[in-house]
Amino acid sequence: MEGLRRTVSGLKAWWDQPDQFDWIVKFLLQRGLLRPTQLLMAVLCFSPILAPLAVMSQPQSLTARSLLVSITAGAFSVVATWFWLTHWPTPRQSRVLAVTGTVCLTLWSVAQYSPMTGALSSTALAVTGGYIAFFHSNRLLAFSFAVTVVAASLAAWRVASESTPATVVAVFWQICFLGIAVPVVIRSIASAMGHYATHSEKDPLTGLLNRRGFLEQIGGHLIKPEPSHTHLMVMMVDLDDFKRINDTHGHATGDSVLRAVAGLLRDHTPADAAICRAGGEEFLIALTAATARPLSLAAALCHAIGRMPHSVTASVGTATIELHRLRGPHRLGLVQRLIDSADAAMYVAKRNGGNQVQHA
């Protein structure tokens, strides 16, 4: 019974896995791969139009049913190609495109005059299944699998009238293998990407972002800031005389303090702030703001750290830049200069005795 419960629980977890469209798009966007992916999808959507054109060029094999399906499939292919060239879909639009494409391919394969041509057309379901596996939920993927099995069964049934049983089995197996195995492999790749995106951007000690993740998350702030926010602020937080804690209490205590500071920074900053362990006892925070000098947050952080055990204090440097200046091609260089300015301001605070805030 325990084994059955685990199996049922595992299947339920698989079924309830959320749609992964948003994080996949974010992953592609942060790495400059959104437009190449858009062009690839346009090519994939345009390619199937050659099949309806080929059928329509052979009047002897053209029936009213195949003509209607060919025109519909060709029209959908043209519309989908135009859409991908000019838009990036919302999650809902993407699901509609995937389901419509899957249904059109199935109807197209059934409408073929030749059973073997119809069976060959069914293998294209691996493409729509792969798209669903990469961008969407397991529920939609289960729909794709079900349609693939139905299409394979119909193709095998049609081929049975003119072929041997071995050929029928081969047709059914080939369609199911491609329509299921290819999406499964792509799903595994997407899962590996998710694991990489999650763990490659995190500091293992504190769970905060590392430098790479920090810069990529800043990119997200620049793309969709709050409507009232006009500036990007960066804070460099450096714990004062942290070596004393390691020397007096040991490195285990020092690590515990770093984790506690990480938790404090999470608790005292907005939910969408990017927080990074920049190295050693240094932390970086980035957030958009409605003013050029939002020092109250920096002062609150400095005060909160000063109330921690082991007499921990921090020197905080801040720097801001107008968001409109970060729209151009040199934004990464400007962000790095902003970080450098916050770092320089932090060292001014440290030279002035620490446990204070300085603005660049």
**Active-site amino acid positions:** 281
Exposure string of 149-185, with b = 16+ CB inside 10 Å and e = fewer, is: eebbebbbebbbeebeeeebeebbebbbebbbebbee
Per DSSP bridges, beta strands 231-239 and 314-322 are antiparallel
Q: How far is the C-alpha of 292 from the C-alpha of 232, rounded, in Å?
A: 8
- Cβ-Cβ contacts under 8 Å for 214 (sequence gap 6 or more): 274, 275, 276, 278, 284, 286
Cβ atoms of 359 and 349 closer than 8 Å: no
Cβ atoms of 358 and 344 closer than 8 Å: no
Q: How far is the C-alpha of 335 from the C-alpha of 232, rounded, in Å?
A: 9
Q: How far is the C-alpha of 350 from the C-alpha of 357, rounded, in Å?
A: 9
Q: Which residue in this structure is represented by tokens 């055990």? A: 309
Q: What are the tokens at 72?
A: 């519909």
Catalogue the long-range contacts made by 300-304 (C-beta closer than 8 Å, 24 or more residues apart). 300/268, 301/235, 301/237, 301/264, 301/265, 301/268, 301/269, 302/355, 302/356, 302/357, 304/264, 304/268
Helices (H), 123-164: 125-135, 138-159
Secondary-structure percent of the chain, ordered helix, strand, coil, rounded to 5 = 70, 10, 20
Q: What are the tokens at 154?
A: 């119909």
Q: How far is the C-alpha of 38 from the C-alpha of 252, rounded, in Å?
A: 49
Q: What are the tokens at 127?
A: 């493409």
Q: What is the CA radius of gyration of the chain?
A: 28
